[in-house]
Structure 1
Amino acid sequence: MTRKILVVEDERAIREMIALFLSQQHYDVIEAGDFQSAVNKLKENPKLILLDWMLPGRSGVQFIQHIKKQENYSAIPIIMLTAKSAEEDCITCLNAGADDYISKPFSPKILLARIEAVWRRIYEQQSQLIQIDELCLDENAQRVFFQKQEISLSSTEFKLLHFFMTHPEKAYSREQLLNRIWGDDLEVEDRTVDSYIRRLRHNLEPFQCDRYIQTVRGTGYRFSNHFRDES
C-alpha cells in the first residue's frame, strides 16, 4: 500500500518540518494549508490525514465533518494536531471522528509513534478482501487478482472497480458514477466515465472478467455476475 499522508497545517514552517520528517521515514507526503486545499488534495487518495484545528476558511473539526459525509473518504484515519489541549477539546475532536489527538508542541518521535499505531490498527490488522466468484479485490493493498493472477489497474480504474464490487447488481448512471468516483472535479464529464469503463473492461478482458461490467441501456452501467444481454 502507498504510505501517503496528507498534512493539513496553515503554518508553513510547521507543515514543511512535518513533511520533511515523514519523508525521511519513507512516507509519501502531500500538503495543504487551508480547508479548501485539503478538500482538493483528497483526490490524491491519502491513507492518513494529519489535521490542524485552526485553518483558514473553516476549522479542522469542520473538515472532519465534511469528509465523514463523503463515501470515498469517510474511512481515512485522522490525527488532529492542535495547540488546544483542554479535555473538552480532545473530546470534541474524537466525537467528530478523529482517530487520535496530539497537542502542540510535540516530539517528532511521538508523532511517528502515533501515526504508526493508527496505521497498524487501520491497515495492517484488518484484511479487507472483496471477492465475487474468482475475482478478488484487496482494499488495503489496492490490488486485484483473478485466480491468484494480478490484474494491473490504474488508481482510477481500481476505484471504479472497487465501487462496482461493493455495489453489485445496481445500475448507476454516468452522473452518479462521476459523483462517486471523481467527486466535485469539474474537469471530468460523462464521456470520462465511458472512457474509463472501456479501459477497465480492456484490462479485465484477458481474465474474462470484463463481462461483469454490464451496460444498462438508457441508464448507465452495473456490476453483476448474472450474465445476460440487456444492452
Structure 2
Amino acid sequence: MEDDESIREIEMYTLESMNFKVRGFEDGTTFFKALSEKHPDLVILDLMLPDEDGSDILKKLRSNSSTEELPVIIASAKTAEYDKVKNLDSGADDYLTKPFGMMEMVSRVKAVLRRTNHKKEDKIEKDGIKILLKRHEVYVNGQEIELTLKEYGLLKLLITHPGTVFSREEIMDQIWETGFYGETRTVDVHVRTLRQKLGEAGSHIETVRGVGYRYHEGN
C-alpha cells in the first residue's frame, strides 16, 4: 500500500521485473476489499495513508486469525526509533525507511519470504481452512473442527493438490491401509461427512461426476 502513485508504480515495476506478481493499493479501503477475495504472500505497507493509519492496518491484520501471520514490511518516511520499535513490536516483519533503493526492497522481500516460508511448511492454509500438520489440527475460519484420521488424510490430500481430480480408487490407495479392499462407496461417505464438518468451506471439495473428487480454490 502506497498513496504516492509514482512511488507505488516504481515499486510495482521493480518487483514485477523480478518475477513477483504484484497489486498496488492507494488506501486501506481498497486493500481490505481485495484481501477479502484473495490473500497475498506479503504486504508492503506505508504508514501514512489517506484513509487509515498504516499502524492501525497492521494491528487489524494481526488481530484476525486469517491474516495474523501474513508477512508485512513497513515502508515509511518515519525514521524515528520509536516508530520502528512500535511497528515491529506490533508484528511487522521488517521496516524500510524512505528513501530506500529498489534492490534493497527486493532483498528485504526475499529475506522475509524465506523466513515465513519455513513457518508455512508446518501448516496448510487455503480458503479459510487451516491445517496444522505437526498437531494434526484443522481450523475453519478460526474455529477448530474434529476430524477422524481418514477425514484428515482426505482433506490433506485434496487441498495440497488443488484442481487435481482423484478417482475413488486413487483416494483409497493413498488414504486407507495397504491391502484395504473395501467398497469405493466408503470414500463417498467420508467426503460427505468431511463436507458437513467443514461447513461452507466444504463446497471447495467438488464431485467430478463419473470420476472422483477435487479441491477447487477460491470462490
TM-score, length of structure 2 as denominator length: 0.63
* One-letter amino acid matched to 1:165: V
Deviation at 1:44, TM superposition (A): 2.1
* Residues 78 and 214 of structure 1, relative CA distance in 2, 3 Å threshold: closer
Matched, 1:159 2:127: yes
* Residues 160 and 100 of structure 1, relative CA distance in 2, 3 Å threshold: closer
Matched, 1:213 2:194: yes
Q: 1:72 aligns to what SS in structure 2?
A: coil
Q: Pairwise mapping of residues 1-231 of structure 1 onto structure 2 (< 5 A)?
A: 8-42=1-35, 43-124=37-118, 127-129=121-123, 139=124, 158-162=126-130, 165-166=138-139, 167-169=144-146, 206=168, 207=171, 208=187, 210-215=191-196
Contact 1:50 1:79 in 2 (8 A): yes
Contact 2:25 2:31 in 1 (8 A): yes
Q: 2:23 aligns to what SS in structure 1?
A: strand
Take 1:34 and 1:221, find their aligned partners in 2: how far apart are those partners? Answer: 30
Task: Report the number of matched residues.
Answer: 157
* Residues 73 and 110 of structure 1, relative CA distance in 2, 3 Å threshold: same
Q: What do you get for the CA RMSD once the two structures are aligned?
A: 2.9
Take 1:160 and 1:94, find their aligned partners in 2: how far apart are those partners? Answer: 26
Take 1:89 and 1:106, find their aligned partners in 2: how far apart are those partners? Answer: 17
Take 2:201 and 2:26, find their aligned partners in 1: how far apart are those partners? Answer: 39
Q: What is the CA deviation profile of residues 174-196 of structure 1, one whole-angstrom value per residue up to 9, with x for unaligned ones?
A: xxxxxxxxxxxxxxxxxxxxxxx
Deviation at 1:93, TM superposition (A): 1.0
Moved over 6 A (4+): none
Bigger CA radius of gyration: 2
Q: Structure 1, unaligned stretches of length 5 or more?
A: 1-7, 130-138, 143-157, 171-199, 224-231
Take 2:93 and 2:129, find their aligned partners in 1: how far apart are those partners? Answer: 28
Q: Structure 2, unaligned stretches of length 5 or more?
A: 132-136, 148-161, 172-186, 203-219
